[in-house]
Amino acid sequence: MQTQLDVHKLSVCADNKQILSELSFTTHGQGITAIVGPNGAGKTSLLRAIYGAMPVQSGQILLSGEPLTALTPRQKAKKLAVVTQNNVYDAHLTVEAMLKLGRVPHLSLLSRIGKKELALIESTMALLQITALRSRDFAGLSGGEQQRVLIARALIQEPELLILDEPCNHLDIHYQHQILALLKQLDVAVLMTIHDLNLAAQYAHQVILLNNGCIEAAGTAENVLNKHTIEGVFKLAVHVDRHPLTGAPYVFYKNQCEGN
């Protein structure tokens, strides 16, 4: 059965302010759904509402037909893996110990990590190119290294849905493309926020453009990331062409210091 996320008329209010207003969308199967939009559009709030870190005013969130609110924390941890923007860990754990935490939802109280789990950890470290970091203290890593470790831990969790809030933060160009290309190929549904419209266009199967807590447009990058829509939402003059290597839409931004 393919993973399907259904968000139906989702509204979120915080501090007497409407953050999200009756959002509805569906994602089907594996692949990346990218949520884009200006600062304050509600991108992170949408993710937090889906994984349960923000109370929902109204609406419904279903994963493969099952309401997420009906799941216990352990059940939810088996289905969802989340990597947020701000991750602070006081405990001094090695990278390998951090990665082993990804298997906790799947283990009983007295069971230990076995050969199958260790093999999964090894293969995931190789995929994310972090094997050499295995004995390092997680807290002592650079921001980019920590981000790759956290994404690896999320994959080791083997979720149905992987939720990532700005996964390219702290990553250089090489690792931005490496990780997004990897996520695109994996047999897992990915829902992520991202600022870079061109990265979204190149790697996402579906793009959702948020503006002022509402969905401005949703669909393929070609349908969503057009000149009219981008200029209307971001208030910035652009030219949209094709990437010469991938054929995906590519957004060029006008220098605002230039005259009209």
- Please give the tally of structural domains in the chain: 1
Q: Is residue 102 in a domain? A: no
- Whether 162 shows a pLDDT value over 70: the answer reads yes
Q: Is residue 14 in a domain? A: yes
Residues in a beta bridge with 67: 62
The model's confidence at residue 85, banded by pLDDT at 50, 70 and 90, is: confident
Please, are residues 171 and 179 in contact by the beta-carbon 8 Å criterion?
Answer: yes
Give pTM, 2 decimals. 0.93
Q: Is residue 209 in a domain? A: yes
Which residues constitute the domain of residue 49?
4-87+158-253
Q: Is residue 258 in a domain? A: no
pLDDT digits (tens, 9 = 90+) for 43-75: 999 999 999 999 999 999 999 999 998 899 999
CATH number at residue 40: 3.40.50.300
Q: Is residue 134 in a domain? A: no
The CA-based diameter of the chain, rounded to the nearest angstrom, is: 69
Q: Is residue 194 in a domain? A: yes
Cα separation of 221 and 197, whole Å? 9
Q: Is residue 106 in a domain? A: no
Q: Is residue 108 in a domain? A: no
- Whether 204 shows a pLDDT value over 60: the answer reads yes
The model's confidence at residue 258, banded by pLDDT at 50, 70 and 90, is: low
